[in-house]
Structure 1
């Protein structure tokens, strides 16, 4: 469980801070004073929140001391407005942000999550491990990351479920990159994008002369040998091909179109869908035996509207490479309050468009438009 070290002398803000933070954060309260630096070294908090108005000691000196520590956490200042000189000195001393009181919960959450994101380092076993990971600090996001770690340590087949745009492809890539197959290929194919007449040859390969224009070529099962094959929109696979896919999953071997000799394949299979596969099984539109083979491990990626508190952190990440473009609090609030039917994919699209419309490198509510 991540820790927030809250330096505060009067404790009046504690209940507000508790309502702002996701439940997986533990607040460690500490009086400002000489014990703070030892506490930072000992507790290794994700972020330090400092209520500077309540401090009987020199706040600037305390911030300078924290920032100078090896592996120092980011420091967010909570203080009164109307002190521009103090704010400038604190930011120059290394404070990550200054949040003015009275506390705006969304503003404070944005600041804390952005501070945490600025120093997150994830240990990865492979040089090509996915950058950034599954972003978020809500219980939903934490659970996704927990399952990713467990699934990456396994060699079982995985079925990822969830609405379009929630990040199923990203999760599949991270599972591969954190697995012992990370040095092998990762091949992704969208089953809905492959014409039914070409599906078998694309997936299983073909022999020369198998059909008009056919040449000897390996399919994606062979091309992904030693690595991971990700079949997105698995529910769209033609019924006529499902038996052959079942054999490939069960026996770890395929037969190319027009061929007779089985070819062994060493592939881990990850699949994804935004449809109710159980309902398709009941309607005889998806083979039950194939369904039970591909869903050894399952994970449902939550829609963005179920983890709204992660939006400020996603915004911070999306804006990192935007040449200094920032976003106003009212614009961020507009994004948090929207329902996001297209999920994270739609959020990225909206931000990309807003960056273009932003005036003076600042995204305001007027720069934000939704695809409704």
Structure 2
């Protein structure tokens, strides 16, 4: 009986190669081996002189590996689909020299079989596969494996065909013959980077779902996990809470999370910025006043009564003047207030959560804050670490802000690895608030689908990207302005898409996408790879 065991040959100078026929799955295991179809016709490797197994007929595929372990220990696969065996072998040599693992297919049926491999990351697909259309296979790939990036190849390059491919979900577009091998390598590398980014985003999204106490309170660092546990432990408790942390660390978010998980969740949450209230009116704002209590005064209940049955959040509690501290202490001790100008007290039922960026113990020691008020507020202490002490949370926060502030009616924005590393290395004196502002600003003006280091303007405090005014005579609408710029770039480059993209400082896939959005499809060069 003919054996169907795995057969491959190897040499010291070339990577070993396994070939499968159409319809066989790389994951069909029989006794620890990969099952294959009928024997394949050997061919002589021109570079080594050793026999290998080539594709004998249409519908065969080949899986290559480096021989250092099992087929399952590779970080990813690149599928090469073309009906020209010589081109497939050339591409295989190019990519294997760069350390990539490859799968070869000479027909749509063979390519579809390879899609079952979960390691598959990138597909290089010819636009014309004999009587079949590569576009149909592109649609199939994006339907069954939307996580896989597809790079189209053709010997009949045009802007129209490039735009059509990008519109249907292709990552990029390469023109044959491949005179510039660097272009082939870098395009595959960028596609793999994009695919890793998408998978990382999915992973971060799952972590966000698992770790977030609320949609805004985000963190996976040890300190944030401890904070999450503390908030959870307060869910049946109504003690007063003091939150300490630098500006921008999210003190109000923590206060809202405490309120949301407490017995007072159905009540109101009333935030008060004590540092923003003038000393002359802070007492009447907090405790209310009677009509005629001072010149022009009309009756006001005050924020304590507004927060009845709910939570009063006193932000920057250290800024409350000493003249008001005594009245605040009495309100907390006796659970009643006396409005300005009134001779009677009003009972209150509230929980007070206070916050400060200052060292209240030091203020107490210096006489700037009442010790008895401090003890009354400091029943439960929560300290929020600055962002620089939990840098491992920055990717989670960045992804959250990308999703929160992403442009309307456009694909979700991503971020390049170099830009993310720059964000992780920054000092962030303004903490999470500064990080969010940086991402929101970059998203508003970024020219491409992913944020770059140049979009972030890190290291230049206070400086953010600005729009350049449209040149005189150009339409004022952003859409018309962009269309004019694209047309001018194509005109000045003689219709060469690669040159136009270089002049605009964007990738060719971005250029094709924008040309498709604006309906620009005049004939011209597709640009060499």
Fold shared per TM-score above 0.5? yes
| Deviation (angstroms), 1:327 | 1.5
The aligned counterpart of 2:280 is 197
CA shift for structure 1 position 229: 0.4
Change beyond 3 A, Cα 1:247–1:33 = farther
Counterpart check, 1:341 vs 2:429? yes
d(CA) in 2 for partners of 1:259 and 1:300? Answer: 38
Matched-pair contact (CA < 8 Å) for 1:110–1:313 = no
Shift in Å, 1:54: 8.8
Corresponding position of 2:420: 332
Alpha-carbon distance change, 88 to 313 in structure 1, aligned in 2, over 3 angstroms: farther
* Residue of 349, 361, 366 corresponding to 1:266: 349
1:132 Cα deviation after fit: 0.7
**Bigger Cα Rg:** 2
Who is 1:367 aligned against? 455
Query: Which residue of structure 2 aligns with residue 248 of structure 1?
Result: 331
- Which position in structure 2 is the counterpart of 1:282? 365
Q: Name structure 2 gaps, 5 residues minimum.
A: 1-26, 30-71, 78-112, 126-136, 150-187, 463-529
Structure 1 distance, partners of 2:228, 2:283, is: 34
Cα shift at 1:361: 3.1
Is the Cα–Cα contact under 8 Å of residues 123 and 148 in structure 2 kept in the other structure?
A: no
Q: Is 1:156 aligned to residue 239 of structure 2?
A: yes
The answer to whether 1:135 aligns with 2:218 is yes
The separation in 2 between residues aligned to 1:268 and 1:208, in whole angstroms, is 27
Alpha-carbon distance, 1:94 to partner = 5.9
- 1:358 maps to which residue? 446
* Structure 1 residue aligned with 2:320: 237
With over 3 angstroms needed to count, the CA separation of the structure-2 counterparts of 1:54 and 1:167, relative to structure 1, is: closer
| Change beyond 3 A, Cα 1:51–1:238 | farther
Partner of 1:6: none
Given the superposition, is the C-alpha separation of residues 213 and 364 from structure 1 closer, same or farther in structure 2, using an over 3 Å criterion? same
2:447 is paired with a residue of what secondary structure? coil
RMSD over equivalenced CA pairs, Å: 3.4
| Cα distance per residue 1:46-100 (max 9 Å; x no partner) | xxxx955599xx995475xxxxxxxxxxxxx6x7x765579998875467689x9
The 3 A distance-change label for structure 1 pair 335 and 122 is: closer
Aligned to 1:115: 203
Change (3 A) 1:177 1:114: same
For residues 213 and 328 of structure 1, do their structure 2 counterparts lie closer, same or farther at Cα, with a shift above 3 Å needed?
A: same
Aligned 8 A contact 2:211 2:218 in 1: no
CA gap of 1:167–1:295, structure 2 versus 1, over 3 A, is: same
* CA offset digits 1:131-178 (Å, max 9, x no partner): 514112121221121111112331000000010000001111111111
Q: Is the 8 A contact 1:114 1:312 kept in 2?
A: no
Q: 1:161 to 1:91 in 2, by over 3 A?
A: farther
Q: Conserved in 2, the CA contact under 8 Å of 1:133 and 1:174? A: no
* Shift in CA distance, 305/108, structure 1 to aligned 2, threshold 3 Å: farther
Inter-CA distance 368–54: structure 2 relative to 1 (3 Å threshold): closer
Aligned partner of 1:215 among 293, 298, 303? 298
d(CA) in 2 for partners of 1:166, 1:189: 17
Mapped partners of 1:251, 1:87: distance in 2: 72
Contact 1:97 1:111 in 2 (8 A): no
Change (3 A) 1:89 1:348: farther
Among 283, 303, 322, which residue is 2:406 paired with?
322
Give the Å deviation of 1:333.
Answer: 1.1
Q: Which protein has greater RCO, CA pairs closer than 8 Å, 6+ apart?
A: 1
Deviation at 1:251, TM superposition (A): 1.1
Secondary structure at 2:256 match in 1: helix
Q: Identify unmatched segments of 5+ residues in structure 1.
A: 1-31, 35-49, 64-76, 125-129
Q: Is the 8 A contact 1:165 1:342 kept in 2?
A: yes
1:355 is displaced (CA, Å) by 1.2
Q: Deviations over 1:249-284 (max 9, x none)?
A: 111111000111111100010000000000000000
> Alignment length, in residue pairs?
300
Aligned residues of 1:113 and 1:312 also touching (Cα < 8 A): no
CA distance in 2, matches of 1:302, 1:250: 30
Q: Equivalences for 1:284-303 in 2 at 5 Å?
A: 284-303=367-386
